[in-house]
Amino acid sequence: MTENQVSPTKAKVHLYYKNGSIMPFEEDAYHEFKGHRDISVEDLPPWTQERRTSSDRASRRAVSRALNGFLNTGRGGTCYLGVTDKGVVHGLKLTGYQKDHVVGDLDDLMNRYNPPVKRHRYKVRFVPVVDQDATEAEILQQSQNDGDLSVLEERQRPHQFRSHKYCWCDKDLRAQYNCGIIPTDYVIEISIKPWDSLDPRNHDDGCGSFSCLHPYHEDEEGHLYFRRQASLARYTMTEMAMLTKQEARERCEETIKRLREEISALKLAH
């Protein structure tokens, strides 16, 4: 099998396959591939940002930009970390402490957005990457307790966020290698949920009017991104204000049309 689907004869779990398997979809308005796990702009190593000329683009972009774009469109989306731009699944080797680091790094990032993003609006999953010929027992062993968000109740010490330098959990991975212990490969799925104006947890985040528009969030650098198919567009506050007015107008027109139809139906009924 070359797609990220498990055979029903093996195990009913969500997983990916090694040996250059390809994602069954391309990058679009709802999916973004990243080969690394640099969540915030501070996580990016300096050598990935060096430019020979002013026209050169940075060789690596933080995951934050894509998450910000998914939030500001209001339709949600998922970033797949451990997958190349061409959709080839490689996975990222992670220990339990490193998974804990990823979760904490993401929470720290979302708390720095303006306004902060509530925890129920995003989700993290660590999906195992297994061999094509893995047995059902091997799949179950690797996928146990890894499908959903899991944070260690105990850790050695606080993780080092907002830095490209190795954290103690990364050094712990190296120590495991030296002892002959090879951690499992994972694809990290970070999902932004679509805006739901009916969710009571979102009532104090909307625009406050009956149109219930989703909020816009500035990222850790104070930038606003908007998802456009498989790319991102950076908007100014003026452009976002114009967009908000347009969306509010369209939402109001839809509501007025619905109310008129309901009134007409009531008149016919009587």
- How many Cβ atoms are within 10 Å of 164's Cβ, its own excluded? 14
Regarding predicted confidence, which is higher, 108 or 7? 108
Residue 1's pLDDT band, with cuts at 50, 70 and 90, is: very low
pLDDT at 13 over 60: no
Per-residue pLDDT, averaged over 213-219, amounts to 87
For the chain, where are the E strands, in sequence order? 16-17, 31-34, 77-81, 92-93, 122-130, 185-192, 224-228, 231-235
| Spatial separation of the C-alpha atoms in residues 22 and 134, rounded to whole Å | 18
Computed on alpha carbons and rounded to an integer, the radius of gyration of the chain in Å comes to 22
Burial 44-70, CB ≥16 within 10 A → b, else e: beeeeeeeeeeeeeeeebbbbbbbbbb
Per-residue pLDDT, averaged over 240-245, amounts to 69
Of 199, 198, 197, which is closest to residue 120 (Cα–Cα)? Answer: 199
pLDDT at 87: 93
Q: What is the pLDDT of residues 84-141, one digit of tens each?
A: 999 999 999 999 999 999 999 999 999 999 999 999 999 999 999 988 777 777 777 6
149-153: list long-range contacts, CB under 8 Å, 24+ apart.
149/103, 149/123, 149/124, 149/125, 150/99, 150/126, 151/99, 151/100, 151/103, 151/104, 152/96, 152/97, 152/99, 152/100
Written as six digits, the tokens of 185 are 């490969």
Of 63, 78, 77, 37, which is closest to residue 220 (Cα–Cα)? Answer: 63
- Residue pair 11/35 in contact (Cβ under 8 Å)? The answer is no
Written as six digits, the tokens of 16 are 């990916």
Per-residue pLDDT, averaged over 156-173, amounts to 91
Q: Please list the residues that pair with 34 across neighbouring strands.
A: 81
- Residue pair 5/70 in contact (Cβ under 8 Å)? The answer is no
pLDDT at 209: 47
pLDDT at 147: 47
Per-residue pLDDT, averaged over 46-65, amounts to 77
Residue 193's pLDDT band, with cuts at 50, 70 and 90, is: very high
**C-alpha distances in Å from residue 33, one per residue of 18, 84, 90, 130, 264:** 16, 6, 11, 19, 49
Mean pLDDT of the chain: 82
**Prior bond to 215 cis, omega within 30?**
no
pLDDT at 149 over 70: no
Per-residue pLDDT, averaged over 243-259, amounts to 72
Tell the residue number behind the tokens 């712990």, with chain if given.
Answer: 172
| Spatial separation of the C-alpha atoms in residues 70 and 47, rounded to whole Å | 27
pLDDT at 236: 79
DSSP letter at 47 equals G
Regarding predicted confidence, which is higher, 31 or 260? 31
Written as six digits, the tokens of 136 are 């059902």
77-81 and 92-93 beta bridge pairing: unpaired
The rounded percent of the chain whose pLDDT value lies above 70 is 78
Residue 4's pLDDT band, with cuts at 50, 70 and 90, is: very low
pLDDT at 77: 96
Domain limits, the chain: 16-235, 239-270
